[in-house]
Structure 1
Amino acid sequence: MKTWQQLAEIQPRVIDILMRTLQKNRLAHAYLFEGSKGTGKKDVALQLAKSFFCESLEETEPCQQCLSCRRIEHGNHPDVHIIEPDGQSIKKQQIEHLQKEFAYRGVESIKKVYIVGDADKMTASAANSILKFLEEPNGTTLAVLMTEQGKNILPTIQSRSQLLSFAPLAREPFIQFLINEGISRTNAHLLASLTTSFDQVKDLVQEDWIAQARSVVIQLMEELYGRPSQLLFTIQEKWLGTFKDKAQQEIGLDMLLLWFRDLLFAKLGNLNTVSFIDQVDSLEKQALQSSQERLSRHMAAVLEAKKQLHANVNPQLVMEKLMLSIQEG
């Protein structure tokens, strides 16, 4: 269980808005929580339900000990209803069942809370059905709709809900979230440096692509600093075979940028935030071979390579020119 203060560490803006609303006892009848997976939407929704029902509320903080708080924590409160997609979508029948619940008096009080997960997956008929509740708000009923794709929510639903946008997780919480999702610690650190979108992470880890890409980047950097005669062979045999389309090639260049940034961190003795966390020995050795100014030039060369890639220059030519530029400068 989390407190509002703990949740504020993850989503300070959202929690500040809700805290001020709770203090004034002016909760909206419906909220639309928008944000990528892992940003705390469901935790905040359940905490809001606790504050709504708590029998011993301390200002805005639910006590976590009363019967209502404990039932919500364990998912068995009779007046808190959670709807999730049935298969690939939320169907009209699920919303109709919810509407029947609207008509009943709360089992233990007049209050009710409805939490709809993946609200963008409502079928058109389901979305239109839920509008009835949103168009006829009841002060004793609270609805929270959650989505990762706010643009896919009907404008009529958006206009009848208070939108709260959940920011991407900060680096350290995002790393821990990825680890909890079963991603290795080494890959999690690199992924958290590349993106804050869990959807993009899911694409990158498919068929272990990120691990293969990471391995190629490490090999290329080892050869740049130790076996430069092998560079062109590795570009032809490994790099082009791993980074196949423009999107992957751009990610590869981003990974090179992160390597040079890690070298700068190693140069400065700051190894706490490196992206390639298992390569500290190599980073420290390579950092001895370059000045900060030279590393900055290397990073500028990678950024120039990204521009060339966007201009549709041949990817092999881009990489060969980049490696030559780095060797010379």
Structure 2
Amino acid sequence: MAETHQDLASQQPVAMKMLQQSLQKNRVAHAYLFEGGRGTGKKNMALFLAKGLFCRQPDEGVPCMTCEQCSRIDQGNHPDVHMIEPDGQSIKKEQVKLLQEEFSKTGMESKRKAYIVNGADKMTVQAANSLLKFLEEPHPSTTAILLTEQIHQMLPTILSRCQHVSFRPLTPVLFKQKLIAEEVHPTMASLVSKITNQVDEAIELSEDEWFVQARKIMLKLYEVLKDDPFEAMIRVQSDYLPHFKEKSQIDQSLDLFLLIYKDLLYIQTDKLDHLSYPDWLETFRTDALQTSANQLTHQLTVILEAKTQLQRNMNTQLLMEQLMLKLQGGSALV
């Protein structure tokens, strides 16, 4: 389902405001470069701009999203809007040539034409040079929209001919909503949105049995630690060490632990939409009431210190045992 104007505006307010004003004032550039990380909405914004160019009943620069023109762009079958994407690992010269041939024809339904190059940084040198010629001699009613995650891999001569639009990473709260729309369970979406800003990676994590088990182990370790640090050390031996073996896994476990204590902080400051473990709200609410800001600062600090020690190749068992003692010791601080 296509994202609404409101969705896109909340995700990328600066980009939306600029493009909407350009459409409203009929000052659309002949070439745009949308640059930003994966999952930031570049492709959807490119389709929004294309709809804005062809929509029959726009409202102050906002396409209606429902007319025949908008619907056909959404469905990918508008005769005057073309998209090229990598064929395998790259966009090839032949793809750009076919695009140029298509654009040498008169617009099927209007004089206007638009094309979107998704993954523009993946053009071969030959394809990039062909596109450059296209950009150097722009047709007055043609709009080019290039999308890239790797702006430094593109020809400077192409960059100089485009109006740049930067796409910022989504906030964890917005990213969580995006994942829920992708049918990731809300509880898991709350957690993975704090770990990655990449949609594909987040979905993969949410479905990974190892990660699901990792979440359970760290929550159980937290629960045991509250009552008995020595029992927590036994859990480190029996549950933690067999599961977290590689350095990257241990680092991720510390991130999962850090997010537990951050949740306590979010509860204290009434930012419940920021929680990583919303299903533990009631338990964490009780704990947050019994924990001072100084305690939390101490606990967050010692977990961050453990992450630093891990990078210095400290023994994992010793690292975790020391962490258990330091976290428990933090509860005595005022």
1:5 to 1:262, Cα distance in 2 relative to 1, 3 A: closer
Partner of 1:136: 137
**Structure 1 residue 14 displacement after superposition:** 0.7
The 3 A distance-change label for structure 1 pair 5 and 282 is: closer
Cross-structure match for 1:35: 36
Deviation per CA, 1:205-235, whole angstroms, max 9, x where unpaired?
A: 5743331221221121122013433322332
Residue aligning to 1:310: 311
- Distance in 2 of aligned mates of 1:103 and 1:123: 22
Q: Any idea what SS the aligned residue of 2:144 has?
A: strand
CA contact (8 A) 1:54 1:66 kept: yes
Deviation at 1:188, TM superposition (A): 1.1
Q: What SS is found at the alignment partner of 1:278?
A: helix
TM-score (normalizing by structure 2): 0.87
> Contact between 1:168 and 1:197, CA under 8 Å: does it hold in 2?
no
2 CA distance for matches of 1:76 and 1:242? 49
TM-superposed deviation, 1:182: 4.2
SS at match of 1:160: coil
TM-aligned CA distance change 1:321 to 1:172, over 3 Å: same
How far apart, CA to CA, are the structure 2 residues paired with 1:150 and 1:323?
44
Query: What is the match of residue 19 of structure 2?
Result: 18
CA distance in 1, matches of 2:45, 2:51: 10
Number of the residue aligned with 1:220:
221
Residue 86 of structure 2 is matched in structure 1 by 85
- What CA distance in whole angstroms lies between the structure 1 residues aligned with 2:155 and 2:319? 44
Q: Any unmatched runs of 5+ in structure 1? A: none
CA contact (8 A) 2:176 2:193 kept: yes
In structure 2, the partner of 1:74 is: 75
Deviations 1:66-90 (A, max 9, x none): 5433432333211011122333332
Q: Percent identical across equivalent pairs?
A: 48
**3-state SS, counterpart of residue 164 of structure 1:** strand
Is the 1:31–1:143 contact (alpha carbons within 8 Å) kept by the matching residues of 2?
yes
Q: 1:10-54: per-residue Cα shift (whole Å, max 9, x none)?
A: 111111222333344322211111223332212211121122123
CA offsets per residue over residues 285-315 of structure 1, 9 Å max, x none? 4445533322221112112222322333333
Change (3 A) 1:230 1:202: same
Q: For residue 251 of structure 1, what is the aligned residue in structure 2?
A: 252
Does 2:321 correspond to 1:320? yes
Q: How far off its partner does 1:137 sit?
A: 1.5
Q: What's the CA shift for 1:65?
A: 5.1
CA distance in 1, matches of 2:64, 2:326: 62
- Give 1:257's aligned amino acid: L
> Which residue identity does 1:230 align to in structure 2?
E
SS of 1:194's partner is coil
Higher deviation after alignment, 57-66 or 173-182 = 57-66
Residues 86-235 of structure 1 mapped to structure 2, 5 A cutoff: 86-198=87-199, 201=202, 204-205=205-206, 207-235=208-236
Q: Secondary structure at the match of 2:193?
A: helix
Letter in 2 for 1:254: D
Letter of the 2:144 counterpart: A
State which drifts further: 266-275 or 157-166: 266-275
Q: Give the 3-state SS of the residue equivalent to 1:105 in structure 2.
A: coil
Which stretch shows the higher mean deviation, 238-247 or 199-208? 199-208
Alignment-mate amino acid for residue 77 of structure 2: N
Counterpart of 1:274, as a letter, is L
Find the aligned partners of 1:139 and 1:241 in 2 and give their Cα distance: 64
Cα distance, 1:241 vs. partner? 3.7
State the distance in 2 between where 1:182 and 1:88 align: 28
SS in 1 for 2:194: helix
- Range with bigger deviation, 52-61 or 157-166: 52-61
Q: Residue 261 of structure 1 corresponds to which residue in structure 2?
A: 262
Rounded to whole Å, the distance in 2 between the matches of 1:296 and 1:325 is 12
Following the alignment from structure 2 to structure 1, what is the Cα–Cα distance between the partners of residues 201 and 70? 35
SS at match of 1:234: helix
1:22/1:132 CA distance change after superposition, 3 Å? same
Contact 2:135–2:161 (8 Å) recurs in 1: yes
Within 1, Cα distance between the matches of 2:40 and 2:303? 31
Q: Does the 8 Å contact 2:184/2:203 carry over to 1?
A: no
Report the Cα offset of residue 191 of structure 1: 1.3
Contact 1:32 1:163 in 2 (8 A): yes
Q: Check 1:252–1:143 CA distance in 2 against 1; reply closer, same or farther (3 A cut).
A: same
Amino acid at match of 1:130: L
